[in-house]
Chain A
């Protein structure tokens, strides 16, 4: 870990100002990703701006659009177990609770979760080349051990996945990211927040220098009747997703009025294909239709060796998740995350 100084931010604008004038400064919220990477010498900020004293950003309240506003500094645990989230967005509760561990969820914040970096083994290990860590040095995963790597939207420069669970549900729910920057506030639709690696894998998202995430806005529609988060991993808990699927369905009888399907663990961002979701509109909720949608979603998927199996696994997971969401006919109780462990 390198040498740095620390300060607690007391106001958003001051924090933004300091960060935008110092390229070696970093915000720290829960610290669960940043400090991990600093101990690995992957991240080396010389100035840390602590956000935890920004109490205004830690609240959860109704937003003007009829939805809910999740403060960027609210912890993952407080968010998942917030009564309004449990009631109106149980998909989000379930998804958050499928991630990390109880201790980490008590530290991790909503903003930090969106900003967490890939778990690619090579990215973490300074002994191996990695374009994301050291642009231009090469991608070791491409021909290496790439079990946890992308099958969709990757580039020859980087095949990393973005590891967050929470973001998969946020993608399905079409949240909006509110940010405050040197030029004022702006909102970013969730689909535009994370980016594909292309030839700039060092950039995970579209946040501009100095910008601070202040909140996540959830629209009114929460798919609280038919939803599921299915997370497949190498052990039952406390492991990142190999493949995950967040599904929200609006059903009329057995007919799908609206479907949202987002995939985690397969790309540099939560993966959605709106066109495929459209094809499910007005269709009966049958396994055949689900399978067709799954096949379409994975049409362009490509494996890189150790992760070839993910293509078939993702298809099956989508079918299962859609089935699970369809068949669900009671409100979710607070511990239903246990259902997501097949």
Chain B
């Protein structure tokens, strides 16, 4: 393993035809996706496939007392019904069900016993020889239940919240209070306080969760699973079913959207593997859209903020407390309030964070978990504070700019939020805003301009990659990373091609297979940094080998040159001092007589280099809304999102990520909410017609600005990740714009028209 501590030897952009990094390269997997040839998990039509259909519980809590399987088993085409009554004894300890990112507690074990812990819990799997028979059979399976009282309403649990433990990776308990927040608030010149609420939200990626398990002659299985981490799923199923890694291969080449929902193995993979192993046949289990509401979600969260300012408009005190739901069996946590201690300079801060147990499924990280939630409350409160203090909301933020991370008492490795503010404001035309609410209109439409910002972690995980360079001049790079729309195929191809100075066409990047070197889960916006660094490393090592071989070639101009004396570009290894002295890369292996070079390498964060710094990406969002004065309908007509996230590897795919994040922000602000009927403990709008996300007609002009940011501390590539930061502040900016338009301060999302009547 090599530890890249020096900045990489990248050719200056634009100096060669093989410099790809930072270019708007079109997706290399584009042709596969636009022609329908890209295969997703439910699309491996292996011979002899059986179909499983999940039966879910109509009750919220209690137990199954009877399952009347016999008449259903008698139906032609039905192969088996799996339930707690006949599931073989599996792993004894529930820790075997723990996946890499399971929160503290005891994970849900599908079909484990008769107990019902949440509504829509999977209670049986009907397996048949066709999808239609399985669906029909599931609909006639009679199950009896005994019901118990349950709690699903967080509103009734306001006093029962408690501080969570630190069971979940990535969770940081809020820092202890600093300064004297109570007195400072009391003595503040201006004060505001309020409660901010949003309901549960479900990820609802376009592709529904599905697993196709191919059962091989020798008893081994290949699971084509919808997941953001094939290794996580592999360790989950091998531990539960007592398989060796060699017996269970997990594959995901394409994922139809994840947004966090695929971080943990979902129950369909358990059910499909169970059925395949028991029946010794290939099995597919796909969830329905309705069942997509039967597992993790962004938790329903209640937040309380209090703030005060000094006479000069600086923040005197800030209190931010959050309470959200978790399940009764696992303690889900996310960082909701910590951001409030670091986004602005403030000496007197009190942050609090609690969870309360309900009879629901465990919440699950959903795009910018915690930060999307926390930044909504913080940034709306900041807007209220600016108005209370008589300041422009942008000016107010700049006055309170944090030059260092006060939570960690560390400097930032880089921070270009100020530039985000300025460049975003300039592009938006913020200076033309008239501050008073209801001061801008067009006929019936009140116009509002609002802004907000955000901060997100820049992190890197350990990752490995393998490179195979063959005598025909082609390079194949493999790493078990994921592709769920983030552009992994493309940026890894770019990095590999540029590192070895090869044309894009000569490079193939493959991913999503436990037969490949391990990559971290596709989450936390760290894939570019982590897998990118591994790809960079492995290609650099291939380069070193190529150089050595090239030096052995007859009359080689590179003799005696060290790796630092050369660069790779345009299909050649060239001397830095005289680039016309070069060796053509595709001639090297044929000359050496070797058929291929194969190298495996990995990369991990350089802790020593990173330790002194706080590493984050930032953004500033400016939004225009039009609100119908009488009818309360809101349209987001213009958005400028300025993002500082280190180096941008591909401006085309990165822009798309930010555009998508803005759409998510609009969705969160205006329409997204899973509504539970507490009489039943059941989400009632559990379908895509009543759980609203934006359609094309909801989306208008969105401008993405990438602020230049160099950072040689965060990782060798200088990237901070772009998948989540773009969502921050969007919901708050819209809420603030709605206030500016109407004079109504909404503190509960989504802003449906009823809130503005």
Q: Which residues of B contact A148 (CB under 8 A)?
A: 690
With A236-B695, A236-B698 already in contact, the answer to whether A122 and B671 are too (CB < 8 A) is: no
Q: Which residues of B contact A342 (CB under 8 A)?
A: 444, 628, 631, 633
The residues in B between 461 and 488 inclusive whose CB is less than 8 angstroms from any CB of A are none
Interface residue A237 (Cβ < 8 Å from any Cβ of B): yes
B58 touching A126, Cβ below 8 Å: yes
A235 touching B698, Cβ below 8 Å: yes
Q: How far is the CB of A110 from chain B (nearest CB, A)?
A: 21
- Distance A122 CA – B679 CA, assembled complex (angstroms): 12
Interface residue A239 (Cβ < 8 Å from any Cβ of B): yes
Q: Mark B633-674, 1 if CB is under 8 A from A, else 0.
A: 101000000000000000000000000000000000011000
The residues in A between 116 and 175 inclusive whose CB is less than 8 angstroms from any CB of B are 119, 121-122, 124-128, 140, 143-145, 147-148
Q: Mark A237-268, 1 if CB is under 8 A from B, else 0.
A: 11110100000000000000000000000000
A145 touching B684, Cβ below 8 Å: yes
Which chain B residue shows the least CB distance to A236? B697
A242 touching B679, Cβ below 8 Å: no
- Distance A319 CA – B444 CA, assembled complex (angstroms): 13
Interface residue A316 (Cβ < 8 Å from any Cβ of B): yes
Interface residue B175 (Cβ < 8 Å from any Cβ of A): no
Which chain A residue shows the least CB distance to B676? A145
Q: Which residues of B contact A140 (CB under 8 A)?
A: 677, 679-680
A316 touching B753, Cβ below 8 Å: no
A143 touching B695, Cβ below 8 Å: no
Q: Which residues of B contact A144 (CB under 8 A)?
A: 677, 679, 684
Interface residue B581 (Cβ < 8 Å from any Cβ of A): no
Interface residue A41 (Cβ < 8 Å from any Cβ of B): yes
Q: Mark B730-757, 1 if CB is under 8 A from A, else 0.
A: 0000000000000000000000111001
Q: How far is the CB of B641 from chain A (nearest CB, A)?
A: 21
Interface residue A335 (Cβ < 8 Å from any Cβ of B): no
Point out which of A143, A148, A235, A240 has the most chain B C-beta atoms below 10 A from its C-beta: A235
- Distance A259 CA – B755 CA, assembled complex (angstroms): 31
Q: How far is the CB of A100 from chain B (nearest CB, A)?
A: 10
A1 touching B135, Cβ below 8 Å: yes
Interface residue B694 (Cβ < 8 Å from any Cβ of A): yes
Q: How far is the CB of A113 from chain B (nearest CB, A)?
A: 16
Which chain A residue shows the least CB distance to B445? A342
With A235-B671, A235-B698 already in contact, the answer to whether A143 and B139 are too (CB < 8 A) is: no
Q: Which residues of A contact B693 (CB under 8 A)?
A: 235
Interface residue B685 (Cβ < 8 Å from any Cβ of A): yes
Which chain A residue shows the least CB distance to B632? A313
A3 touching B136, Cβ below 8 Å: yes
Interface residue B675 (Cβ < 8 Å from any Cβ of A): yes
Q: Which residues of A contact B630 (CB under 8 A)?
A: 316, 319-320
Interface residue A234 (Cβ < 8 Å from any Cβ of B): yes
Q: Which residues of A contact B679 (CB under 8 A)?
A: 140, 143-144
Is chain A's binding surface mostly helix, strand, loop or mixed?
Answer: loop
Query: Which among A128, A239, A309, A312 is the interface contact of B692 at CB below 8 angstroms?
Result: A239
B136 touching A320, Cβ below 8 Å: no
B695 touching A235, Cβ below 8 Å: yes
Point out which of A2, A3, A145, A237 has the most chain B C-beta atoms below 10 A from its C-beta: A145
A320 touching B677, Cβ below 8 Å: no
Point out which of B635, B685, B752, B754 has the most chain A C-beta atoms below 10 A from its C-beta: B754
Interface residue B98 (Cβ < 8 Å from any Cβ of A): no
- Distance A61 CA – B670 CA, assembled complex (angstroms): 43
Q: Which residues of A contact B670 (CB under 8 A)?
A: 235
With A235-B671, A235-B695, A312-B757 already in contact, the answer to whether A317 and B631 are too (CB < 8 A) is: yes
Q: How far is the CB of A232 from chain B (nearest CB, A)?
A: 6
Interface residue B226 (Cβ < 8 Å from any Cβ of A): no
Interface residue A341 (Cβ < 8 Å from any Cβ of B): yes
Q: Mark A7-18, 1 if CB is under 8 A from B, else 0.
A: 000000000000
- Distance A147 CA – B682 CA, assembled complex (angstroms): 16
With A3-B136, A41-B139, A342-B633 already in contact, the answer to whether A127 and B692 are too (CB < 8 A) is: no
A-B contact pairs, 6 of them (CB 8 A): A1-B136, A127-B119, A145-B677, A232-B753, A236-B698, A237-B695
Q: Which 10 A-B pairs have the closest CB atoms?
A: A127-B58, A309-B754, A236-B697, A237-B697, A121-B684, A316-B630, A342-B628, A236-B698, A144-B677, A238-B695
| Contacts from B to A (Cβ < 8 Å) | 58-59, 119, 132, 135-136, 139-140, 444, 628, 630-633, 635, 670-671, 675, 677, 679-680, 682, 684-687, 689-690, 692-698, 752-754, 757
Starting from the known contacts A145-B685, A232-B753, 13 additional A-B residue pairs (CB-CB under 8 Å) come to: A119-B690, A121-B684, A122-B684, A127-B119, A127-B680, A144-B684, A145-B675, A145-B684, A234-B692, A235-B694, A239-B692, A313-B754, A341-B697
| Contacts from A to B (Cβ < 8 Å) | 1-3, 39, 41, 119, 121-122, 124-128, 140, 143-145, 147-148, 232, 234-240, 242, 309, 312-313, 316-317, 319-320, 341-342
